[in-house]
Each structure stands twice: as structure tokens, then as C-alpha cells.
Amino acid sequence: MQAKLTHRGRSVSEEDIEFIRALIARHPEASRRKLSKYLCEAWGWVQPNGELRDMVCRSLMLQLHRGGLIELPPVRFRPRNNVTERRAPRAVSIDTTPVRTTLGELGPLELYQVRRTASEALFNALIDTYHYLGYTQPVGEHLKHVVFAQGRPVACLAWSSSPRHLGCRDRYIGWSASARQRNIRLLAYNTRFLVLPWVEVPHLASHLLGRMAKRLSRDWMQHYGHPVVFLETFVDPQRFRGTCYRAANWRYLGRTLGLGKDARSKQPNRSIKEVLGYPLTPRFRERLGSEDA
């Protein structure tokens, strides 16, 4: 049966819509959240880590509701919007004594993934206080790493889901639109990289990028049930040259068009960034270009 629409990679047919209507009719007292859970279970719609794709399912049902194809029950509860109403991370008191040494003399570096741990508040506070972009609560899949040396934090790195459309990256990978839609989850975007301002250790930043390249896929697998095979980041050329990324063998892929996701025209509405990428496997194009499930 011909699809009525496609939502996040799933084709939705008239038969699917009739199924949703019947599901709603069978559960007249259920909330929108509960109906989404029922639909995910009925369709076997789960993330790679086994959790229900609840948010994607809810957005699909809302799209169908707004299009007049189904009738959802009234909204019963509106949760706080953590993006627009977020509270600034609580400041932390740490030792800011200057660290001026060589990488070899700095001693062992300990990298910890801190999302959903007691140290996540430390990460949030350090980024909010010392990174020029501040802290923004990520959405979707994301991890946070803090690096310690001699018992003190020296750096933070944040990783999140990659943008779905990025022309120079997509051309570099060479994947089709359908392969990109299926495999975009296998990319990770380095959203923040902070070496604390009192830490002056030559080659530390590129060394940490090399260390992260060896462990990030394993961390992603542990938290989300799938690996990542390609890393990317944006560099603002008006502020930085991306020296540490280039020293760690990240590749220049091109430049953004300066069009944010909210752009209503083809006119740039933000600064143009350089895009750098790092494959985690030699056969990344074959893996990312696969059309298989």
C-alpha cells in the first residue's frame, strides 16, 4: 500500500493510520504518552539499546493529529522545557593553580565518561564557566567526558548526535539520502572541547583527541547499544585554526553555508564554520553507505 507520509525513516501507510485510530479507540482513557508507548510496543519500534522510540513515536502521532488523520486526546500535562527554562549549572570551587609542564611530566591522564554520574555536575559547571559558548543541555544521544591529571580536572569533551544534513560531510562520505537517514546515528559530533585556561601543556589537546578516538565508540556502545564510526566538529575560523584537530589527523571536509536549522531562506543567518572529520575505521564509507538494516 502506498505510503501516506514518511517520518524519521518509517513509511506510514493508510493501513498504519487505521491501526493507530483503532489503538486510540481501544484505549479511550489513555494519555498521549501512554498511547505512544502502546504503539511503540505494537510496532516493535525500539532504539538500538532496546528502549522504546517514544519521542519519535509521539512526534509522528502529533504530525498525524495536526494533519487531521487521527484524533489524539487533549494534552493533560505540559512538562518544563529544559532548553528554554534551564537553570545555569551550579558553580564549583576547584584548584586553579597554573599547570605549566610537558605532557610527559603531567603524569597519567584519566578519562571518565560522566553522563548520569555524580561528576556530571562538575562537567556542566566547568563548561558553563570556562567555555566561550557556555553550557547547553544536549538533546538526543550524547556523552560527556572529564579528563583528570594528578587528581585535578584539566579538560572536558562533549559529544552528541550529528546534524542530519551537512553538505560537505555528506559529499565526503558519499552516502545516499536513504543511507544517511538510516546510519546518521553512527556519527558523533564534538560539540565542546575545553582545556581549562590555567592548564598550559603543549600537545595535550591533540593527545586527548587521539585518546578519545580509541574509546568513544566503546562508550557509545555501552550507553546506546551501537558504535560510532565517524567523528566531526565545527571550527569557527574567526576564533580558532583547529590546530589540535589537524595535529590529531582530523580532515578538513569543507565549510558550512551559515544556514541554521531555523533558517527560512537560503541567506546565511550565522557564522560560517569549517567542518573537520575523523573516520574511526578505514571502511567507514562502506559501513555508512550500507542500505541494510
The stretch 262-270 carries a mean pLDDT of: 56
Q: Of 70-79, 219-228, 233-242, 259-268, where does mean pLDDT reach its minimum? A: 259-268
The stretch 131-160 carries a mean pLDDT of: 94
The stretch 8-17 carries a mean pLDDT of: 81
Kindly tell me if the per-residue pLDDT of 285 is higher than 80.
Answer: yes
pTM for the whole thing?
0.74
Distance between CA atoms of residues 265 and 262, nearest Å: 9
Q: Give the pLDDT confidence score for residue 200 in this predicted structure.
A: 97
Q: Give the pLDDT confidence score for residue 92 in this predicted structure.
A: 82
Q: How large is the C-alpha radius of gyration of the chain? A: 22
Residue 233 in grid coordinates: 566538529
Q: Give the pLDDT confidence score for residue 252 in this predicted structure.
A: 97
Q: Give the pLDDT confidence score for residue 81 in this predicted structure.
A: 53
pLDDT digits (tens, 9 = 90+) for 66-112: 888 999 998 876 655 554 455 678 778 899 999 999 999 999 999 99
pLDDT digits (tens, 9 = 90+) for 153-162: 999 999 999 9
Going from N- to C-terminal start, the domains of the chain cover 3-66, 101-288
Q: Give the pLDDT confidence score for residue 84 in this predicted structure.
A: 47
The stretch 219-232 carries a mean pLDDT of: 96
* Amino acid identity at 291: E
Kindly tell me if the per-residue pLDDT of 152 is higher than 80.
Answer: yes
Q: Of 56-70, 224-238, 242-256, where does mean pLDDT reach its minimum? A: 56-70
Which residue has 565549510 as its cell numbers? Answer: 255
Q: Report angle CA 71, 72, 75 to the nearest 5 degrees.
A: 145
SS3 sequence, 53-94? CHHHHHHHHHHHHHCCCCCCCCCCCCCCCCCCCCCCCCCCCC
101-288 CATH pick, 3.40.1260.10, 3.60.15.10, 3.40.30.10, 3.40.630.30: 3.40.630.30
Give the highest mean pLDDT range of 75-89, 162-176, 249-263. Answer: 162-176
Residue 125 in grid coordinates: 559547571
Which of 252, 246, 259, 254 lies closest to 277, judged by CA?
252
